[in-house]
Structure 1
Amino acid sequence: MDAKKLGFGDLTELGPMEDWPIGRLFAAASRLAGPVMWRLIEQHGTSPAGFLVLRTLVSEDGLRPGELAKRLLISPATVTTVVDTLERKGHVERRRDDRDRRSLRVHIKDSGLAVVKVTGESMKDDIWNLYDVVDEEDEPAVRRFLLRLIARFEEQTDDDLAERIVNEAPLVQKPPRKPKETPRDGDDGTTP
């Protein structure tokens, strides 16, 4: 396959977005997803990095800072800064490892659990509104595409990293799908 069909090369040759190759469209959506999610988290009163540390500790409490850094794909220095802030706010605590007194482990506290729960609940509708763009009849095809893409990426990724990414708990539980409303006579701006 040539570079143009993959979405590489001179981007001006790709034409309008509707004509872009699937890979290029997926990359564009992926790049936009992160900043949008961070903004949503911030709007609900939590720093994105702090929220991700807390979410990780919900499923794996008592990690070492280096383990947190690996799981979140961030630097150990960033973990230290984020954990310092979370500790000051009373959301986590550092404790000496019982088996290796030189090592510290980070544990989530009740207030940290509450932050994850409240933030997740308050963001639920916003998140699902973002992703509720696939018509119900198209969902099986989109699902097959994404599952195949995940499998392909897993082949190219460190096994432990891929497993953690895929198996991580969802940010929030999916609410039941709301039926699409169809305009009634007069509701679409026309006169019956």
Structure 2
Amino acid sequence: MRTSEADLERMSLSRLLAVAGHVVAMRWQRLMGSYGLTPHGLAVLASLERGSALTQRELAKRCGIAPSTLNHTVDHLERSGWIERRRDASDRRLVRLALTETGRRQLKQAEDAAGSQMEPMLDHLRPADERIVRGFLLATVLRFQTMDDEDASGDPARADRF
């Protein structure tokens, strides 16, 4: 069921941001699904492309994904041939995840599709507005990540914030 424009205009900014995030996330999910990826899968491939092989724990933290969700995602990506598990050369107990060449190609296709199908949906923004929206979203993401890190640290002084 669609929310009317009048209802959207009456929402608090935080609720409107959540609704906007959900609507965009659903579109991303459909697009990535057409490439055999979930948004988490895309985040994993992109993270592995930017750096060296990572442990699942490192990858979960970098992507902001719960370890249990990451297990499922990693299994799917490995079965698809997009990532591989490798034993750490200096500590054989550690398993590191690495992007395969096939995974690199899959990531490029998905990112190209996002650029050609998602970015044009933002053509209603003027360049000056885009800078403002980008600044707001960046500050919001960083603030929420910091708050999540503080919550995870177990600081009781932060527990009653909400």
TM-score for the superposition, normalised by structure 1? 0.63
Question: Which structure has the larger Rg over C-alpha atoms?
Answer: 1
In 2, Cα distance between equivalents of 1:78 and 1:143: 28
RMSD across aligned positions (CA): 2.6
Given candidates 101, 106, 118, the residue that maps to 2:109 is 118
Q: How far does the alpha carbon of each residue in 1:111-168 deviate from its partner, in whole angstroms, 9 at most, with x for none? A: 1111111111122121112323323454454345445545644653438xxxxxxxxx
Which residue number corresponds to residue 158 of structure 2?
none
Given candidates 141, 147, 151, the residue that maps to 1:156 is 147
The answer as to whether partners of 2:87 and 2:94 remain within 8 angstroms in 1 is: yes
Which residue number corresponds to residue 28 of structure 1?
19
Q: How far does the alpha carbon of each residue in 1:81-137 deviate from its partner, in whole angstroms, 9 at most, with x for none? A: 322222222222111112211110011111111111111112212111232332345
Which residue number corresponds to residue 64 of structure 2?
73
Which residue number corresponds to residue 78 of structure 2?
87
Which residue number corresponds to residue 94 of structure 2?
103
Return 5+ residue gaps in structure 1 as ranges.
Answer: 1-14, 160-192
- Number of aligned residue pairs: give it: 145
In 2, Cα distance between equivalents of 1:123 and 1:147: 19
Larger helix share, 1 or 2: 2
The answer as to whether partners of 2:49 and 2:104 remain within 8 angstroms in 1 is: yes
In 2, Cα distance between equivalents of 1:151 and 1:132: 25
Secondary structure of the 2:30 match is: helix
Identity of paired residues, percent? 34
The answer as to whether partners of 1:61 and 1:108 remain within 8 angstroms in 2 is: no
In 1, Cα distance between equivalents of 2:145 and 2:41: 27
- Cα distance change on mapping 1:47 and 1:28 into 2, 3 Å: closer
1:142-153, aligned counterparts within 5 Å?
142-150=133-141, 152-153=143-144
